[in-house]
Structure 1
Amino acid sequence: MNSAEIWKDIEDFEGLYQVSNMGRVRSLDREDAQGHRIKGKVLVVSSNGKGYRQINLWQYGDVKHKFIHRLVAIAFLNNPNNLPEVNHKDENKANNSVSNLEWCTRLYNMTYGTRIKRVAKANEHPIYVVTNSGHHYFFDSTKKAVELLRLDGSNVSECLHDKRKHHHGFTFEWAV
């Protein structure tokens, strides 16, 4: 274990769970409702499918889904302006070390770093829009397909990245 690792109670889960400045979460030693002793441990985190690390925290038989970066920010970063979002400075959503996080506005988060360039590049890739009858229509870019067919760009992107099957009756494929 890193000697620089600092642990703090998770807000609303005091005495049950803690988060560290390195982005790890642990449960604390405790007794269950039947009086059985439960040994605390560092918990395994999962991904939400978009790269963000998350954890399930249990209390009174209810589960709460929490993002690790938000838990770290709440525990370790001051937020005097009550900013709503947490940005990953290195753009790596898995790096939840406190030194990589900062409170920010939605606009700042959405336009930070290389995001605009990455989204624009993804929108330049040619695609096929496939109808229910199986006809393939070629478009020079996702942006063109979205504009001409009046579709939602984020839903089309989710289809292209296998996070959604179809949008407005169409399926989508990369034109390689």
Structure 2
Amino acid sequence: MTLAEHWLPVVGYERCYEVSDLGRVRSIDRIVTTRAGYDISLTGRMMSASTHPSGHRYVHLTMEGRDSTYQVHRLVMRAFVGPCPEGLEVRHLNGDPTDNRLANLAYGTRSENAVDQVDHGSHNQASKTRCNYGHEFSPENTYRHPSGRRVCIECRNRHKAQYRARSQSATAGSEVTHG
């Protein structure tokens, strides 16, 4: 069973382009005036999206002689969900930045996006198998911080012990008897 593709106007380009819930962008039939003052008829067509080195897809949209570049996932979310709330960004839930289907997109925090990347193995730190001090990131030696980053338990315990030792020596030094 094939689901129907739904199209909505691209926000800000309502008379020129549409975006679908499957992450595709198309131009629509329209008449434009050239710089020389002539009216020409443009036939709508499916837009070819380019791929950024990050894997995100983008398209070039033109209106009234101005050319702008837009990421497809942002066009989909803005048309179908609404503007991005302050402090949030678009997340690709399955970790594939080329999958711009509405069902795969959601607004979330930068932290949620980073946790997604770690979970999908696409974060630049996710491929590390050892901490900065050479300890293995094994399930037994790895703690997931609430922010989503991985913490080496061996290093964490060593830092806690060093902190306690410094605190105790500072306390012992302040217990000087006066008399």
Provide the TM-score with structure 2 as the length reference. 0.62
Aligned to 1:146: none
Aligned to 1:25: 25
| Greater displacement, 72-81 / 113-122 | 113-122
1:120 aligns with 2:125: yes
Structure 1 stretches of 5 or more lacking a match? 126-139, 141-176
Q: d(CA) in 1 for partners of 2:47 and 2:85? A: 31
Aligned to 2:65: 61
Q: d(CA) in 1 for partners of 2:45 and 2:84? A: 32
Q: d(CA) in 1 for partners of 2:57 and 2:123? A: 21
Q: Secondary structure of the residue that 2:61 maps to in structure 1?
A: strand
Larger Rg: 2
Report the AA paired with residue 67 of structure 2: V
Provide the TM-score with structure 1 as the length reference. 0.63
**Per-residue Cα deviation, 1:82-109 (whole angstroms, up to 9, x for no partner):** 5520101110001000000011111111
Question: Structure 1 segments of 4 or more deviating over 6 A?
Answer: none
Within a 5 Å distance, the mapping from 1:100-111 to structure 2 comes to 100-111=104-115
Tell me the matched-pair count: 125
Q: Secondary structure of the residue that 2:8 maps to in structure 1?
A: strand
TM-aligned CA distance change 1:58 to 1:117, over 3 Å? closer
1:87 aligns with 2:91: yes
Contact 2:92 2:99 in 1 (8 A): yes
Aligned to 1:159: none
TM-aligned CA distance change 1:84 to 1:4, over 3 Å? same
Q: d(CA) in 2 for partners of 1:20 and 1:122? A: 34
Aligned to 1:136: none
Contact 1:9 1:19 in 2 (8 A): yes
Structure 2 stretches of 5 or more lacking a match? 135-179
Within a 5 Å distance, the mapping from 1:1-176 to structure 2 comes to 4-33=4-33, 34-77=38-81, 82=86, 84-112=88-116, 114=119, 118-123=123-128
Q: Secondary structure of the residue that 2:39 maps to in structure 1?
A: coil
**Per-residue Cα deviation, 1:101-124 (whole angstroms, up to 9, x for no partner):** 011111111122525785335445
Q: Secondary structure of the residue that 1:70 maps to in structure 2?
A: helix
Kindly, what percent of the aligned residue pairs are identical?
Answer: 28
Q: d(CA) in 1 for partners of 2:84 and 2:31? A: 37
Q: d(CA) in 2 for partners of 1:80 and 1:120? A: 27
Contact 1:17 1:25 in 2 (8 A): yes
Q: Secondary structure of the residue that 1:73 maps to in structure 2?
A: helix
Q: d(CA) in 1 for partners of 2:120 and 2:25? A: 28
Q: d(CA) in 2 for partners of 1:65 and 1:29? A: 20
